[in-house]
Amino acid sequence: MAVRNRRERQTALQALLEGNPFLTDEEIAARFGVSVQTIRLDRMALGIPEVRERIRAVARKRLEGPRSLDTGELIGELIELELNRMAISIFEVGEDHVFYRTRIARGHHLFAQANSLAVAVIDAPVALTAAADVRFIRPAYLGERLVAKAVVRQKKRDLAQVDVWTRSGEDRVFEGRFLVVQPRGEREGVAGSGEDSH
């Protein structure tokens, strides 16, 4: 992105973060072709907090509580949730999530982030994954921040189709289509066995 002077860069920075508050200073610096320190100074001049504070602010404004699982059961940090519509979570790839030699994230962590988000977005006391069609697009590495977005495409009574895609910066790293079911006997007001085989 060619920006000629500081004022133009700061204006562009403000617009960029309004559209995507989850970008890190490193990602922004690469976009503008300047140093990370320059971006930090620009943010401070504009009164824009660091990415962690921006994430918390978005979460405070937009977060409903999931009904189908506890937030502690979700893989990643739930940032936005509109039940039966969409949800966003962020997962930071740490030492425990990668293969020692390659520093590549194990695939089950990417799947778990997407799968738990697909379940969390459903407005039901119990929701389970019935089927999933997934694709790993590129490896995710130690230190990357993975932003997953789930969108409910169709919902009929006890069955929903939820599309999830996961990005690291501008790169899509994972996508999946999940069929999420609300088991019979677990619908509103009907107690079931409570057993979850998933």
Q: What is the pLDDT of residues 146-191, one digit of tens each?
A: 999 999 998 888 899 999 999 998 899 999 999 999 887 655 444 3
Q: What is the pLDDT of residues 3-23, one digit of tens each?
A: 568 888 888 888 888 877 778
Tell me how crowded residue 59 is: count the other CB atoms within 10 A of its CB.
16
Assigned CATH topology for domain 6-57: Arc Repressor Mutant, subunit A (1.10.10)
Q: In terms of CATH architecture, what is 63-181?
A: Roll (3.10)
Contact status, residue 180 vs residue 162, Cβ threshold 8 Å: yes
Query: What's the token pair of residue 43?
Result: 């943010």
Query: How far is the C-alpha of 132 from the C-alpha of 101, rounded, in Å?
Result: 29
Handedness of CA 151, 115, 160, 58 (dihedral sign): negative
Exposure b/e, 91-105, CB count within 10 A at least 16 = b: bebeeebbeeeebeb
Query: How far is the C-alpha of 15 from the C-alpha of 163, rounded, in Å?
Result: 28
pTM here is 0.66
User: Which pLDDT does position 18 carry in this prediction?
Assistant: 81
Boundaries of every domain in the chain: 6-57, 63-181
